[in-house]
């Protein structure tokens, strides 16, 4: 089995990626500092605990496992925190990625799949976003991811680092088999917060902003199922193995849902009322983020088969009702 170094492999998306890699015949080597990840999620290959800031540790792991490629998920991603403490995002996301890229190049590992974000596009209301849209991030999270994209381009020119960049829209859902799921602490994502409110684990779901220029006043997002998302990463890895060169792909469905629409669907799927509190806007939140790209389908052959709102909520609900990793 060909080893792949998966940074952040104990996290939500990383753990699903490790499962997908294992099913595709690769050996996922999880590298995670467990600051937000769960060791219980490491089920599909060896685990190496370490931080991206620790260059010596990274070099040890590259030497031990000799990965043929890197799949890089490890990052801080809380928009609110990024507005309050941008230094944390520049130090960890950008500084850590620089260490990782240099360690990979030093080990002769020159295929790199990067987890980026639609937050690099910033506020572009009324625009369905494709890969040619200008990048103008409005928070340190999006800015840090854009900086890493630029870094990959620089190292491609100087050292032949081959890379595929995936700009995600909102990721949701859970493994239908129940092996891995979403377990952030603290939780910041809409669907798990909403399900926690339904379960009584929190008093209510706070809707941050009801005065946006949208049909119901709440933010609109494009949701993609985590299993569909990681399938694209396996296709991206195969793209690099085939020598097809550097490429950027948006990963979304092209359909946006408002916060209120997500709440309505959740009440239907769970057959329970969602307790809601209306709150003020959060700094750094965009009004609408919806993908208008068909590139991943046309070039990778990727289709988000599972990415209906009903499937995403139902899979997440099943995971949370099973108590996930035990609370």
Contact 264, 277 (CB under 8 A): no
Q: What token pair was written down for 245?
A: 């060169």
Catalytic-residue membership of 121: no
3-state secondary structure of 159: helix
Contact 70, 112 (CB under 8 A): yes
Burial of 305 (0-12, 13-18, 19+ CB in 10 A): exposed
**How far apart are the C-alpha atoms of 14 and 18, rounded to whole Å?**
6
**How far apart are the C-alpha atoms of 51 and 53, rounded to whole Å?**
5
Choice among 141, 168, 208, 212 that is catalytic: 141
The continuous run of DSSP H or E covering 73 comes out as none
Phi, psi of 307, deg, nearest 5: -90, 50
Burial of 102 (0-12, 13-18, 19+ CB in 10 A): middle
The continuous run of DSSP H or E covering 61 comes out as helix 55-65
Q: What token pair was written down for 146?
A: 């854009």
Longest CA pairwise span in the chain (Å): 56
Annotated catalytic residues are 141
């Amino acid at each position: 089995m060909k080893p792949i170094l998966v940074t952040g492999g104990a996290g939500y998306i990383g753990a699903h990626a490790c499962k997908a890699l294992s099913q595709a015949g690769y050996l996922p080597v999880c590298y995670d500092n467990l600051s937000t990840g769960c060791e219980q999620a490491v089920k599909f290959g060896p685990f190496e605990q370490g931080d991206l800031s620790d260059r010596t540790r990274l070099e040890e792991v590259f030497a031990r496992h000799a990965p043929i490629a890197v799949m890089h998920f490890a990052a801080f991603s809380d928009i609110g925190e990024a507005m309050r403490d941008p230094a944390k995002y520049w130090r960890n996301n950008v500084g850590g990625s620089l260490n990782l890229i240099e360690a990979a190049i030093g080990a002769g590992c020159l295929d790199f799949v990067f987890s980026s974000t639609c937050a690099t596009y910033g506020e572009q209301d009324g625009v369905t976003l494709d890969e040619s849209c200008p990048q103008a991030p409005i928070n340190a999270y999006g800015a840090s991811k854009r900086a890493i994209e630029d870094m990959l381009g620089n190292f491609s020119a100087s050292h032949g680092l081959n890379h595929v960049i995936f700009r995600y829209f909102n990721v949701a859902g859970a493994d239908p088999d129940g092996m891995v799921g979403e377990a952030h602490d603290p939780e910041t994502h809409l669907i798990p917060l909403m399900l926690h409110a339904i379960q009584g684990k929190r008093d209510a779901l706070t809707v941050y902003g009801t005065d946006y220029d949208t049909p119901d006043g709440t933010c609109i997002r494009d949701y993609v199922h985590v299993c569909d998302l990681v399938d694209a990463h396996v296709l991206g890895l195969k793209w690099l193995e085939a020598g097809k060169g550097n490429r950027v792909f948006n990963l979304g469905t092209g359909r946006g849902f408002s916060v209120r629409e997500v709440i309505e669907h959740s009440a239907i799927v769970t057959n329970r009322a969602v307790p809601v509190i209306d709150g003020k806007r959060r700094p750094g939140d965009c009004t609408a983020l919806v993908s208008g790209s068909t590139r991943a389908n046309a070039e990778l052959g990727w289709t988000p088969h599972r990415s209906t709102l009903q499937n995403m909520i139902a899979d997440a609900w099943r995971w949370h009702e099973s108590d996930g990793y035990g609370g």
